[in-house]
A and B are shown apart, each in its own frame.
Chain A
Amino acid sequence: MGSRHHKSVTVIVYRIALDSFRAPHVSDEAFDIASTISDKLAKSEAAPPSDAYSHSTLPDCRQWKLRLYTSSMAVMRQTLLRVDPRYFQIAALGALLFYGCSRLGFEIDALQITLTLTTAVAVQLLLASLTRTNSALDVRSALITGLSLCLLLRTNIIWCAVVAAAVAILSKFVFRFRGKHLFNPANIGLVTLLLAGPRVAWCSAGQWGSTIVLTFFLVCLGLLVVHRARRADISFAFLVGYALLLFGRSAWLGEPWTIPWHRLQSGALLLFAFFMISDPRSTPNSWVGRLIFAWLVVLGTGFVQFGLNRPNGLFFSLALVSFLVPLIDLLFPAVRYEWALATDTPGAANRSISPNPPTS
């Protein structure tokens, strides 16, 4: 697809160059239309623009400029798609951590951040060399795990941060099933420490606040990252399921809608939905499996939060439901996710396979 694009872009640029000598400048209105069309084009997997809009009533010269605009957008998008999505995740999590420390008063110091990240990367490299796997690539994953832990885990005992990071990375090498990780590394690191009690570690879910600005910011970042990692379905399934749970419960209790709405406007929730549950290496392969998985996590969260009245239901629930992933994969087989697939067209990982429901 890429080479086809280059070709069409070359042709367009050439013709535009010729065209522009006799054409008036493109008006603002034309550019408005162009951006609309470019969005449509982008959605239709960046199809080459040749003759796609030949029926357009726009003057000829404008059409060409418009085509140049749309095709350059498509090229830019294709280029972006070739970048490993984990770079976006690292940038997004890093920005969140910076914002949290500088503006929201996160109770984490530079030492803990440094130790967590260093431990994650070091353990990753060590274990990768011991097991002779390709370690260089997974340093990015280790950084993501470390950053997630920095964002969520709070402790006053500095070595606990080290333990959490080590447990997280270790889990990737120990708890494996058919080449996949059983647990999301950051989640299992966090849960291990949380199980040790508040004396050891805790998660300050409330510290994100619920300002609409931050929510919006997180959604944007999250969407980008999810889009890149092809796991938008699980994030949205989870968020929709969780919203239904909260609104349903409030409807039953006769509470005002402001209550479930307030609970949804949580930075920790969005971080969980867009950066943790969407981890392609520890979620079911088929989209049916992922839906089931997401909704089981919702039910588990509801149980911990409202049944047991304990905080951090999200994380405990995800850890528990992760045990079911092998079973879900068995029932709904599909091709396993590889980061390498990320360079293909969106949906390729799913499109190449078809979910096979049990035939019994």
Chain B
Amino acid sequence: MTTVRLLLCSLVYLSSTNLHAFCGFYVAKADTKIFNQASKVVMVRDDDRTVLTLANDFQGDARDFAVVIPVPAVLEKDQIHVGENALIDHLDAYSAPRLVEYWDADPCTPPMPSMMMKQSAPTGGAADGERAEALGVKIEAQYTVGEYDIVILSAEQSNGLETWLRENGYKIPPGASNVLDSYIKQNLRFFVARVNLQEKEKLGFTYLRPLQMAYESSKFMLPIRLGTVNANGPQELFVFALSRQGRVETTNYRTVKLNSDLEVPLFVRDDFSHFYRSMFDRAVQREDMRVVFLEYAWDMGWCDPCAAEPLSNEELRKLGVFWIEDTESASAKAGINRAIPRPYAGTNVFITRFHLRYDSAHFPEDLAFQQTGDRTNFQGRYILRHPWTGEAKCEAARAYLKSLDARYRTEAENLASLTGWDIQEIYKKMNFQPTNGNKKWWQKIWQ
């Protein structure tokens, strides 16, 4: 224990050594820090069946990785699986806010609706069962799945659990005890995972793959409270909810649609990640950091425009969409080929992408969700309109060129309103000097 140096990373990577290279959607190199305290969770849910995927692009030493997640049931080995990062990247890219005619994979980082901890050295294997029992901690199950050693714990009280975790090389931050206690009393179990280095070496992966778990519970929620303990400022979380019936929404926080479908100046294309971050910052500020933002809600059979192609049935099934097989056989019977996305055709997988920034002051309780029957599509979409640049040879063209001034001004105002950027700076970047033509006489006086 003395050799163990532990650091809480919580839901997010707080250490600068853990910054991730963002892929996909964020194209510029300077943007790799965008939303770098972000986590990603995929929640597949129908009735009481849930499949959670916790994306993990932990970049540090694998020995330093550990995670504690409250789960509603004791999971059998078959219920735990190690997925592929590519699936989450694809899902992220597919659902990301987009510029019309532009797409790329995404930014963000990985998540865990829980607590992530680093440990400098593994203590080697599971804890002594007798010791655990003495502490009131019961090791319900122990598995090695893929490159992870997983222990499922139940506990009688948080003190025992804390001691057990400490003795096994995890450092629990002050304040976590209360939260653990609350989960224990709600009869939740604890899913504790860390990397089995030998297995990892054997498998040959240089990165950590996402953990997946399937369980049945009436609780449709995401525990975020452990992640806010000891957190260094607000954290970023992306939740991708896949359901059969329609949009998912939070029941204990407001879900607000991101501002969308606005025309913005052309230069945004070169700096879209910066734009997205500023826009999100401003939206969070406007709502006093008390709402969950809806970034995408769409039938997963198609997209328009596509930031990335829709996921194949195979990919969806790997993410845990357990009902997709039924559909395929039903589609096959009906002679429908779902592999070809058809606009408006509709499938039975609906995605809702949430984005929230949270801390314990503004998001005191865990996120609770419900399914709705709403299949209305929504996307974060921003429009670039290239002007026509020919020579004005007719009256209509002259009128058109004249109208551009007002359009540029609107675009600049949209951008300023969305991001809070200085409008003069925006004009400068646009290489546009608004004329005073449309201004009232008094607006010209004190310019």
B278 an interface residue at 8 Å Cβ cutoff? no
The digit string for B299-328, where 1 denotes a CB below 8 A from any CB of A, is: 000000000000000000000000000000
A200→B374 CA distance, assembly (Å): 9
B181 touches A253 (CB 8 A): yes
Task: Tell me the chain A residues, 273-315 only, with Cβ under 8 Å from chain B.
Answer: 308-311
* Contact present for A198 and B373 (CB under 8 Å): yes
In the assembled complex, the Cα of A177 lies from the Cα of B255 at a distance in Å of 41
Query: Interface with A: B23-31, B77-85, B245-253, B268-276, which one?
Result: B245-253
Out of A253, A256, A263, which one reaches B252, CB within 8 Å? Answer: A263
B residues within 8 A CB of A261? 364
Q: Which of A42-50, A65-73, A204-212 contacts B (4 or more CB under 8 A)?
A: A204-212
B254/A155 in contact, CB under 8 A: no
Q: B82 to nearest A CB, angstroms?
A: 28
Cβ-based interface call for B182 (8 A): yes
Q: Is the beta-carbon distance between A154 and B364 smaller than 8 angstroms? A: no
Q: Are B254 and A209 in contact (CB under 8 A)?
A: yes
List, in ascending order, chain A residues with CB within 8 A of B285's CB.
none
Bound-state Cα–Cα, A262 to B253, Å: 9
Residue A22 is within 8 A (CB to CB) of chain B in the complex: no
- Between B218, B250, B364, B374, the greatest number of chain A beta carbons within 10 A of the residue's beta carbon is seen for B364
* Consensus secondary structure, chain B interface: loop
Query: Bound state CA distance, A261 and B376, in angstroms?
Result: 33
Assembled-state Cα–Cα distance A160/B288 (Å): 35
> Which residue of chain A is the closest to B376 with respect to CB atoms?
A156
| Chain A residues whose CB sits within 8 angstroms of the CB of B374 once the complex forms | 107, 154, 156, 202
Cβ-closest chain A residue relative to B365 = A259
**Smallest CB-CB separation from B178: which chain A residue?**
A254
Is there an interface contact between A256 and B364, defined as CB atoms closer than 8 Å?
yes
When distances are taken between beta carbons in the complex, the residues of chain B under 8 Å from A199 are 245-246, 373
CB of A206 within 8 A of CB of B255, answer: yes
Q: Tell me which of B219, B253, B372 contacts A309 (CB under 8 A).
A: B219
CB pair B365–A311 under 8 Å, yes or no, is no
| A259 to B257 alpha-carbon distance, docked (Å) | 25
Task: Output the residue of B181, B253, B254 with the most chain A CB within 10 A.
Answer: B254
B364 near A309 with CB under 8 A, answer no
CB distance from B412 to the nearest CB of A (A): 26
**Which residue from A156, A210, A211 sits with its C-beta under 8 Å from B373?**
A156
Contact B218 A309 (CB under 8 A): yes
Identify the closest chain B residue to A253 (Cβ).
Answer: B182
Query: Contacts of B290 on A, CB cut-off 8 Å?
Result: 209-211
Residues of chain A contacted by B250 (CB below 8 angstroms): 206
Answer whether residue B433 sits at the interface, using C-beta atoms and an 8 A cutoff.
Answer: no
| Interface presence of A14 (CB below 8 A) | no
Residues 201-239 of A at the B interface (beta carbon under 8 Å): 201-202, 204-211
**B357-371 residues at the A interface, CB under 8 angstroms:** 360-361, 364-365, 368, 370-371
**Smallest Cβ-Cβ distance to B361: which chain A residue:** A258
B240 within 8 A of A: no
Is B372 in contact with A262, judged by CB distance below 8 angstroms? no
Q: Is the CB of A358 closer than 8 A to any CB of chain B?
A: no
Instruction: Let me know if A11 is at the binding interface, CB within 8 A.
Output: no
Partner of B370 from the list A155, A308, A311 (CB cut-off 8 Å) is: A311
Contact in complex: A206, B373 (CB < 8 Å): no
A-B contact count (CB 8 A): 89
A214 CB → nearest B CB, Å: 10
B186 at the interface (CB under 8 A from A): yes
Q: Roughly how many angstroms separate A210 CA and B290 CA in the complex, as a whole number?
A: 8
Report B233-267 CB contacts with A as 1/0, cut-off 8 Å. 00000000000011001111111110000000000
- Bound form: Cα–Cα A71–B220 in Å: 57
Q: Is the CB of A202 within 8 A of B373?
A: yes
Inter-subunit contact B181/A254 (CB<8 Å): yes
Q: Does B291 sit within 8 A of A, measured CB to CB?
A: yes
- B185 → chain A closest CB, angstroms: 5
B373: chain A residues at CB < 8 Å are: 155-157, 197-202
Q: Which residues of B contact A201 (CB under 8 A)?
A: 373
Residue B364 contacts which of A157, A205, A253, A262 (CB distance < 8 angstroms)?
A262
Within B9-63, the residues touching A (CB, 8 Å) are none
A199 to B368, CA, bound (A): 19
Name A198's contact: one of B181, B182, B255, B370 (CB within 8 Å).
Answer: B370
A105 touching B185 by the CB < 8 A rule? no
Q: Report if B375 contacts A (CB, 8 A).
A: yes
* Contact of B246 with A209 in the complex, beta carbons under 8 Å: no
Chain A positions 20 through 62: 1 when the CB is less than 8 Å from some CB of chain B, otherwise 0? 0000000000000000000000000000000000000000000
Cross-interface CB contact of B185 among A154, A211, A253, cutoff 8 Å: A253
Please give, as numbers and ranges, the residues of chain A lying within 8 Å of B360 by CB-CB distance.
256, 258
Closest CB in chain A relative to B281 CB, distance in Å: 20
Instruction: Report how far A204 CA is from B251 CA in the complex, Å.
Output: 7
Task: Please name all residues of chain B whose beta carbon is closer than 8 Å to the beta carbon of A211 when the two chains form the complex.
Answer: 288, 290
Q: Is the CB of B245 within 8 A of A198?
A: yes
Residues 176-201 of A at the B interface (beta carbon under 8 Å): 197-201
Q: Is the CB of B365 within 8 A of A206?
A: no
**Is A255 in contact with chain B by the CB < 8 A criterion?**
yes
**Complex Cα–Cα for A210 and B287 (A):** 11
Contacts of B181 in A (CB 8 A): 253-254
CB distance from A231 to the nearest CB of B (A): 27
Task: Kindly name the residue among A154, A197, A311 whose own CB sees the greatest number of chain B CB atoms within 10 A.
Answer: A311
What 0/1 readout, one digit per residue, does chain A (125-163) give for beta carbons within 8 Å of chain B? 000000000000000000000000000001111000000
Q: Determine the chain B residues whose CB is within 8 A of the CB of A154 once the complex forms.
A: 372, 374
Give the residues in chain A near B186, CB-CB below 8 Å.
253
Nearest chain-B residue to A208 (Cβ)? B254
**B→A interface (CB under 8 Å):** 178, 181-182, 185-186, 217-220, 245-246, 249-257, 288, 290-291, 360-361, 364-365, 368, 370-376
A-B residue pairs in contact (CB < 8 Å), sample of 8: A156-B374, A156-B376, A206-B249, A206-B251, A209-B253, A210-B254, A309-B217, A311-B370
Given A209-B253, A311-B251; 5 other pairs, CB 8 A cutoff: A156-B375, A198-B246, A198-B370, A199-B245, A253-B182
| Top-10 shortest CB links A-B | A258-B364, A209-B254, A309-B218, A253-B182, A199-B373, A198-B371, A202-B372, A206-B251, A259-B365, A254-B181
